[in-house]
Structure 1
Amino acid sequence: MKSFRHLSVQLLLLATLFPILALCYINPATTSIHQNATKSSAYRAYIVLVQPPPSNAGEDAHHQWHESFLSRSLAGDSRKSCLLYSYTEVFNGFAVRLTDAELDIVSKKPGFVRAFPDQTLQLMTTHTPEFLGLRNGTGFWSQADYGKGVIIGLLDSGIYAAHASFNDHGVPPPPARWKGSCDAARCNNKLIGAKSLIADHDSDDEQGHGTHTSSTAAGNFVTGASYNGVGTGTAVGIAPSAHIAMYKVCDARDCKASATLAGLEEAIKDGVDVLSLSLGSSTSASFDQDPISIGAFSAVSKGILVVCAAGNNGPIQRSVTNEAPWLLTVAASSVDRSFGANIHLGNGKTIDGEALTQIGNPRSKLHSLLYSKEWRYCNYDYDSSITGKILLCKDNKSRAQRSKIRNIVGAGATGVVLFNDEISGYTTTVTDYNSSVVQVTAADGEALIAYIASTDNSSMASLAYNGTQFGVRPAPVVASFSSRGPSSLAPNILKPDILAPGLNILAAWPSKTGH
């Protein structure tokens, strides 16, 4: 039996390092049925909290107790008012589709406590272990036995089980306490659990997010990993000997709070040690009005560590979410790695940038550098005016702009220099444009605009690519998008709790998604 000290080291490792890329659940705004009530004949999903059944009954009896709140007139011929999920571990309750009038009837029954409208949520590494001081065969990583024996549960978009990160080489069988099951294309000692909590869906990952976060947390060693030749090295998660249990609660479009609670319910029953809820919402609610916070409290009370991100609404003050004191709330930072690129100017100066797509043998010839305030978001027409030129554009982080940039380069532009907006500042989130694009900071963008203005639009530049660079300073730096404290709900609770790498992290992805 493992010593308490050994287990503590493992959990500390996971608590501190596991949420490297996870952009976790952000509490949804919820209301009781007595607040802002508007009568409607439309069906919608509710999460209903009730008192426990009169006797200390088993799971079947709990399910019958929950069904008793739905009279035959509610759950009868229309089949719209059906029980979606039944909860016994996160709290006593169920999810159900009801009209407002039907909810009124349910709320008057003995044992009813509260109802929350179901919420729609959205889904929010080769060098990171080395940056964190983790070395194979020595030090803290070795002392923690690489997370061996720890079960990490993820509530996410599913998992691409065939990926090399989920091989079980060197991973022992799961502990005897594990009670879960695995329904995936490949189950082994690494991927010990895979369930879908969404009707008519298997555990496969259609979106990619769950695969990415799973490999970041506990992916096994994969040698020779890279992204189009950059970031080359051995890809590995922070706890490579830990076990993974995936609970699919999201499809390719969105996630429902009711399904998330069902996943949390299953994870508690199965016996996970650590939980990641890698989902998000743009609104927040007090702890007692948030069913996910309530459910997470139940998990923590059973000894499960629940890890969530601080959110992606930075750098605005008081934007931090997941403020509940029982959650481990994690801010996102950079690492000391850069996918280096340079813009060499006609005046002899050089500006450093980054490029996820690196051109093998770029031309050193200078080209006209063009900036137009009118076309600053790269919304140029595909005509001869851009042929052979390098375009300077401002990043607006839209899919439409990414598509436009690819088309511009395809139409004859030599390249694009994309500078951050003011909010992003010095945080460059690299993007694969499949073309000659160099990304720079907001400050360097302003410097380039000033250079172009000083030359009466006769400015010249060339692009060069330097591959993967390490030892970049300063690092770590809090990413601009990482939400800041203090908590708006409870200013006396200091959040976020810790900082972990979460910017430009390379990890596993399903091949069929095309990324």
Structure 2
Amino acid sequence: MEVATHMARSSTVYWSLLAVFSWLAAAGAGLGDGGRSPPQVYVVYMGAVPPRTSPSLLLESHLRLVSTVLKRGRRADSLVVHQYKHGFSGFAARLSKDEAAALRRKPGVVSVFADPVYQLHTTRSWDFLQQTTTAVKIDDAAGAGPARRSGNKKGKAAAPANDPSSSSPAADTIIGLLDSGIWPESPSFNDAGFGRPPSRWKGVCMAGDDFNSSNCNNKLIGARYYDLSSVRGPAPSGGGSPRDDVGHGTHTSSTAAGSAVTGASYYGLAPGTAKGGSAASRVAMYRVCSQAGCAGSAILAGFDDAIADGVDVISVSLGASPYFRPDFSADPIAIGSFHAVAKGVTVVCSAGNSGPGAATVVNAAPWILTVAATTIDRDFESDVLLGGNNSAVKGVAINFSNLDRSPKYPLITGAAAKSSSVSDTDSASHCEPGTLDSSKIRGKIVLCHHSQSDTSKLVKADELQSAGAAGCILVMNDNESSVATAYLDFPVTEVTSAAAAAIHKYIAAASEPVATITAAATVTECKPAPVVAYFSSRGPSGQTGNVLKPDIAAPGVNILASWIPASSLPPGQKQPSQFNLVSGTSMACPHVAGAAATVKAWNPTWSPAAVRSAIMTTATTLNNEREPMTTDSGSPATPYDYGAGQVHPAGALDPGLVYDAGEDDYLRFLCNYGYNASTVRLVASTLPSGFSCAANVSKDLISDLNYPSIAVTGLLGNKSAAAGRSRTVTRTVTNVGAQEAASYTVAVSAPPGLDVKVTPSKLEFTRGVKKLAFQVSFSRSGNDDDAAAAKGALSGSITWSDGKHMVRSPFVVTS
């Protein structure tokens, strides 16, 4: 679920609970009933498509396989919901628990699992990325393309990022999004200046409810939708059209690749030009979600079609709950993305919104580019003006208050307005529903405390508005102060605990305290920025600590992008805004997808791993005060918070060196992770006939995966036990810079308590030597009681430089 400022309050109220309930329903369905449960949708995953197998033969083999477990009278073709035949083999079908168990034992089947329900993880942001990165790094000019080795030694200047002409290589780049659909009438999908889609495009524009082929154009070149009947919940399942009835898919797709729209705003807030990160790219939407959630079987179908359609990048702003995280072989996103990457498609996924707790990151398979969320330098200020000396207390919220600017409205605390029938003063101070006396708050501004375990902020606001309150001041956890919630027509603002102390002091001193709440105003150039958003899920990965996740961070707080028409409007507004301000790692993900599409456009032969490496090794870890990035709480941010740092789109076009990897590397990862050789053979598209996992497989060896970051476990802990212990990992880099003869030297930034040595310390590339390996050895210092080591984690970085490029790789070493 995204952290959102949705217009539809009714849906916002239940989405947070729905994520848990849907997972419990999916996980518990068919258990403990002796196999007598009614049929439900199961996914049967069968690995790679066998060589030289036509789609028609594959479909027939799926039906024959289903038929072998059915009782007389049940037809396979009436039970199969989806068949996967392009990027991988498998199907989804309505089966009983016993039938699913029987299929699980069949040869050639990798896994069988109940269709899971995943949740959606929910513009100055692009301008801010450019401003911040150019301020803290010495790089090519904004929008400049990478230098080329052929002919032009100085390189070829790129077309502007929003130029859709055929002269821009991005015009042939296609971003596919697995999401809630798209609103094709949005100006972000205007195709003015675009030529015909690339000839390799094989997709379609599916007709559906209120949607036909004419809704696609040379910008929005494809749209598909899928059966979502397995998604259950309070909201209608929908799914009968590519049309977006949630808003999420429209927002993410316009963030990734929206055409430039001047004069964009959210009812006057955040004014400017809205544009996508790769505005010249084409968009293809695969609707796999409704308001009630995203069906795993539909997610797999979306991946399968996107691979066959010819997309270059797939953006996935949804995922599992970190508390019900499936293994890779039963995770539709991990499965679909594996086969997409094997076909050369870069897959970018959101990290989840379960922060700031540790080990909450999802979509953490090593073939996925996993994105955390950060703030930008824009805020929406809605202040509290107090009576007496008319002092102002800063607040943050999106409201269109029509209160008089003069502080004349009586001010009362929730505790003071407690109903006589309620004994719990603390609940009243938090303005929990049913705890306040409406006669005491009518016409007044109410000061309410709020915590994450409380009833929803919007529910509280609705109850206070219904009771006749003039407005509300919510005292928030300080970590949440960067996310502006939309309250529209009811004057609500959110203040920090320090600001609340000033308000409490005023109330105690005044005989008749009064105040007012100002309408939201856009404030820019806020400092520090970026900071890691409190909701952004954190590492380490719960599946393997030897791959550092998340990979990268990008703007995900109060992002302005296209939206569906709203049903409720602020006071005085007659037309719904075509844009909305939304927060979540859902919003961060398409920022990186747009950057990946641009990198791919300029380097069409690069693998997904090379694209990921370019984005990660050029990231920045400094804010707009030229200081190391922090979290919302003000504490120093670590690679578990933001991965390699904040994405730097222009820098990623010329990374100098890349850490490359392919399908074979990921297959070795699966061996070391614990899958047996027979399973790995089924997953792979091509393997030598004698392939087997190495005899010494170990999760520790996952650290040797040729990744742009390094994670090592089992090295720290008790100092005396760790003394003398060391771990060495190997990496290989490829020179992709303009100069074939290049010399790189290494710099190490290591924390106290950890010795880090890189061998060799210099890499010499020539025309004939484009790839070179090096080793990094980690050992615990025997004479240092560093506090971080005692907690079990130490982080730092290694950086290769040739004087122009800075190729930085973060590392984390743990107990």
**Same-fold call, TM cutoff 0.5:** yes
Give the secondary-structure state (helix, strand or coil) at the position aligned to 1:325.
coil
Q: 1:364 deviation in Å?
A: 1.3
Q: CA deviation at 1:400?
A: 6.0
CA contact (8 A) 1:120 1:255 kept: yes
Instruction: Report the 3-state secondary structure (helix = DSSP H, G, I; strand = E; otherwise coil) of the residue aligned with 1:298.
Output: helix
Is residue 285 of structure 1 aligned with residue 282 of structure 2?
no
**What residue in structure 2 maps to residue 177 of structure 1?**
200
Distance 1:483 1:237, change over 3 A: same
Superposed, 1:131-146 pairs within 5 Å as 131-133=128-130, 139-140=142-143, 143=158, 145-146=160-161
State the SS of the aligned residue for 2:318. coil
- 2:529 — aligned with what? 475
Is the contact between residue 82 and residue 92 of structure 2 (CA under 8 Å) also seen in structure 1?
Answer: yes
Deviation at 1:90, TM superposition (A): 3.9
Structure 1 distance, partners of 2:350, 2:49, is 35
Distance 1:466 1:32 in 2: 43
Q: Is the 8 A contact 1:297 1:326 kept in 2?
A: yes
> How far 1:39 moved relative to its partner?
3.5
Deviation at 1:55, TM superposition (A): 7.2
Aligned residue number for residue 92 of structure 1: 89
Deviating more after overlay: 227-236 vs 498-507: 227-236
What is the one-letter code of the residue matched to 2:338? F
Q: Do the aligned partners of 1:369 and 1:459 also contact (CA within 8 Å) in 2?
A: yes
Query: Which residue in the other structure is 2:191 paired with?
Result: 168
2:126 is paired with a residue of what secondary structure? helix
What residue in structure 1 maps to residue 481 of structure 2?
426
The number of aligned residues is 486
Match of 1:229 among 243, 268, 272: 268
Instruction: State the Cα distance separating 1:54 from its structure 2 match.
Output: 7.6
* Alpha-carbon distance in 2 for matches of 1:369, 1:181: 58
1:50 pairs, out of 41, 46, 50, with 46
**Offset from partner CA, 1:208-228 (integer Å, 9 cap, x none):** 111111111111111221112
Equivalent-residue separation in structure 1 for 2:303 and 2:511 (angstroms): 59
2:111 alignment counterpart = 114
Give the SS at the match of 1:506.
strand
Q: Is 1:501 matched up with 2:543? A: no
Match of 1:417 in 2: 473
Which stretch shows the higher mean deviation, 67-76 or 504-513?
Answer: 67-76
Query: 2:356, 2:534 within 8 Å by CA — same for their partners in 1?
Result: yes
More moved, 162-171 vs 240-249: 162-171
Pairing of 1:232-381 with structure 2 (within 5 A): 232-282=271-321, 283-346=324-387, 348=389, 349-359=391-401, 362-371=404-413, 372=415, 373-378=426-431, 379=433
**Cα deviations by residue, 1:140-193 (Å, 9 ceiling, x for unpaired):** 278364243210000111111111111112233221111111234521111000
Contact 1:377 1:393 in 2 (8 A): yes
Q: 1:406 to 1:55 in 2, by over 3 A?
A: closer
- Conservation of the 8 A alpha-carbon contact between 2:183 and 2:563: yes
CA contact (8 A) 2:402 2:491 kept: no
Per-residue Cα deviation, 1:488-514 (whole angstroms, up to 9, x for no partner) = 221121111111000111211111555
User: What's the secondary structure of 1:122's corresponding residue?
Assistant: strand
Tell me if 1:384 matches 2:439.
yes
TM-score by length of 2: 0.55
TM-score, normalised with respect to structure 1: 0.85
Q: Is the 8 A contact 1:50 1:112 kept in 2?
A: yes
Contact 1:166 1:190 in 2 (8 A): yes
Contact 1:377/1:401 (8 A) holds in 2: no
- Structure 2 stretches lacking a partner, 5+ long: 6-18, 133-140, 145-156, 162-169, 229-238, 416-425, 569-575, 577-815
Q: Deviations over 1:366-416 (max 9, x none)?
A: 433211244234336573321332111234578865244245346542221
Distance 1:203 1:284, change over 3 A: same
Q: Quick check: 1:448 aligned with 2:503?
A: yes
Q: Which residue of 1 aligns with 2:812?
A: none
Corresponding position: 1:39 with 2:80: no
Q: Does 1:127 align with 2:181?
A: no
Q: In structure 1, the residue corresponding to 2:110 is in which secondary structure?
A: strand
Report the counterpart of residue 194 of structure 1 in structure 2.
223
- The one-letter code matched in structure 1 to 2:42 is Y
CA distance 1:29–1:384, change in 2 (3 Å): closer
Cα gap change, 1:426 to 1:457, in 2 (>3 Å): farther
Structure 2 residue matching 1:393: 3-state secondary structure: strand
Q: CA deviation at 1:358?
A: 3.1
Structure 1 counterpart SS, 2:301: helix
3-state SS, counterpart of residue 480 of structure 1: coil
Structure-1 separation of matches of 2:25 and 2:307: 24
Match of 1:104 among 101, 104, 111: 101
Question: Is contact 1:121-1:254 (8 Å) kept?
Answer: yes
Return the offset for 1:485. 1.3
- Counterpart residue identity of residue 464, structure 2: I
Q: What are the ranges of 5 or more consecutive residues in structure 1 without an aligned counterpart?
A: 1-20
Higher relative contact order (CA 8 A, sep 6+): 1
User: In the aligned structure 1, how far is the partner of 2:455 from the partner of 2:300?
Assistant: 31
The aligned residue for residue 462 of structure 1 is: 516
Match of 1:59 among 55, 59, 67: 55
Residue equivalent to 1:394:
449
Equivalent-residue separation in structure 1 for 2:118 and 2:504 (angstroms): 39
* Secondary structure class of the residue paired with 2:559: coil
Mapped to 1, the partners of 2:511 and 2:70 lie a distance apart of 71
Kept in 2: contact 1:85–1:95 (CA 8 A)? yes
The residue number in structure 2 matching 1:8 is: none
Which of these two proteins has the greater Rg computed from alpha carbons? 2
Report the Cα distance in structure 1 between the residues aligned to 2:51 and 2:198, rounded to whole angstroms. Answer: 32
Structural mapping, 1:401-412, within 5 Å? 401-406=457-462, 408-409=464-465, 411-412=467-468
Following the alignment from structure 2 to structure 1, what is the Cα–Cα distance between the partners of residues 541 and 503? Answer: 38
What is the root-mean-square deviation in Å for CA atoms of aligned residues? 3.4
**Which deviates more, 462-471 or 334-343?**
462-471
Q: Give, as a single letter, the amino acid of the residue that structure 1 aligns with 2:517.
A: L
Please give the alpha-carbon distance, in whole angstroms, between the structure 1 residues aligned to 2:99 and 2:511. 68
Paired with 2:51 and 2:172, the residues of 1 have a C-alpha distance of: 36
Query: 1:432 is paired with a residue of what secondary structure?
Result: strand
CA contact (8 A) 2:450 2:477 kept: yes
CA–CA separation in structure 1 for the residues paired with 2:386 and 2:403? 18
Instruction: Decide whether the 8 Å contact of 1:31 with 1:117 is kept in 2.
Output: yes
Give SS of 1:130's match: helix
Tell me which residue corresponds to 2:689.
none
Deviations 1:64-88 (A, max 9, x none): 0111112277276456971111113
Q: Tell me: CA distance 1:374–1:55, structure 2 relative to 1, closer, same or farther (3 Å).
A: closer
Partner letter of residue 189 of structure 2? F
Is contact 1:420–1:445 with CA below 8 Å preserved after alignment? no
Contact 1:393-1:418 within 8 A present in 2 as well: yes
C-alpha deviation, 1:306, in angstroms: 0.6
Does the CA-based 8 Å contact 2:300-2:336 persist in structure 1? yes
Q: AA paired with 1:408?
A: L
| SS, match of residue 67 in structure 2 | coil
Q: Is the 8 A contact 1:323 1:495 kept in 2?
A: yes
